[in-house]
Structure 1
């Protein structure tokens, strides 16, 4: 199911409702089909992130944004720990092999990490049922969503705001180098990638390369984040120093690759990008 606006959407407002329904319906169907494995959990989390990004695109024109964003964030948090554990353990295994950590030492560190990453909340099945109920409740409210615009005017302010927020977050990260600033920059760049994905049909030849660079950025920064989190969890543990050092070196290298791409991708203010993409949208829509 394409996460994009379609020329056949009567207007942008109809497109927003259609895309939101598709994402949430996909999650409900996945849970109802039975066992949800690691790949399934990844899809559930992606559907939440995609829907939240869609709503950020219309945030200035949607009075119900805060309510629905809170509901989606809560739904995502309920299942996030279930997948984070698998990702962290897989990364640990790779880095431990790369630094040739002795097996007994690696096993002890891995067991401690697994215990640390095991969620304290409800069991996996209960967490999925709770997630389903939360997603179903949001899905039921879509028909009642009301917007202050219907055409590209529904999308332009949020698109511009998203770009400006990403630019500001990147500046803050460059100035401070702090972990919090890094995480904010990563999230804002990911949101912009979602927005580019949604709007790519307006002129694929121009927006698709932009989206591809944003995708690369998201991968670099997401991988860097995983390494930073793993290093923080293992820091100070007996025998973990070589692994922590490698994780932080890789995180820094990934961040260094991302920075020049981000400077070019977001080289213009949000209003300028939104005006340009808006012109393409109007030509596409006829």
Structure 2
């Protein structure tokens, strides 16, 4: 029951339960001494993204509350972004090496990874620094948890979520059009965020037609991953460009060329996946999902009356 609506729940009950659970898990991760601190930071950031997706789904029902809560989770995630980015750059480097093994067989790019390791240590500090950050985050999240029961939602049933669902999906479609015509780093990054929000919405609503929504949800997950990898590579190229004086020019030049080649592959794949995920008109998607919702509610009520 962690991150999806249950058939027996009213929308406000589900929203409060899901939101509170995400905050509770983030607090636990902030204090879990058995978990690597970098992994804990990564998970907490994901909790913030999931919370913002939930807020977007019921945006029209939350009214003024949306802006306050969305800003809180956005700002918290941003404060943690540099800590996560330092680790993500190492992972991006490893993907390049894995994608072009013949180019790195002689460890010619090891100096680049060594530099990224140093930058990560400088960026994140020591273990004590990460623990202090975790403790500070935990206190803010505890305050956030106390606000959740005060969220008042207007509307009932599918009407409470339809506006947020359509708004997010429409923006994802607009992002696809922009990425197709002008695939700049900024455009792709913004599209990625819209796709991720829509994917989270498919997860939140998966109980209302698990079999029919599963392929759509899977494509959304794959597309979000592809766009995320492309974004990490873009950040990696930028960071290495800033540190070019510390690296052999020929080694760096070849690595950046491979990075750009891989990005082109990912971007082409993302457009193809996006055309599958976002082919339907927003009004038609909303109507179809409303039908799933109603059918599930009818089945639930029949079971109750049996």
TM-score, structure 1 length as denominator?
0.91
Q: Which residue of 1 aligns with 2:74?
A: 73
Alignment of 1:23-102 (within 5 A): 23-37=22-36, 38-63=38-63, 64-93=65-94, 95=96, 98=101, 99-100=103-104
Say whether residues 1:257 and 2:296 are aligned partners. no
Secondary structure at 1:240's aligned position in 2?
helix
Give the whole-Å Cα distance in 1 for the aligned partners of 2:279 and 2:97.
39
Secondary structure at 1:220's aligned position in 2?
helix
Say whether residues 1:110 and 2:110 are aligned partners. no
What is the aligned-residue RMSD (CA, Å)? Answer: 2.2
2:259 pairs with one of 247, 259, 270 = 247
Give the whole-Å Cα distance in 2 for the aligned partners of 1:47 and 1:273.
27
Distance 1:250 1:88, change over 3 A: same
Aligned residues: 284
Distance 1:104 1:254, change over 3 A: closer
Structure possessing the higher radius of gyration over alpha carbons: 2
Q: Unaligned stretches of 5+ in structure 1?
A: none
CA contact (8 A) 2:45 2:80 kept: yes
Distance 1:68 1:146, change over 3 A: same
2:237 pairs with one of 221, 227, 231 = 231
Distance 1:282 1:90, change over 3 A: same
Q: Unaligned stretches of 5+ in structure 2?
A: 299-306
Give the whole-Å Cα distance in 1 for the aligned partners of 2:47 and 2:171.
22
**1:115, distance to aligned residue in structure 2 (A):** 4.5
Secondary structure at 2:46's aligned position in 1?
helix
Secondary structure at 1:267's aligned position in 2?
coil
Give the whole-Å Cα distance in 2 for the aligned partners of 1:100 and 1:195.
40
TM-score, structure 2 length as denominator?
0.86
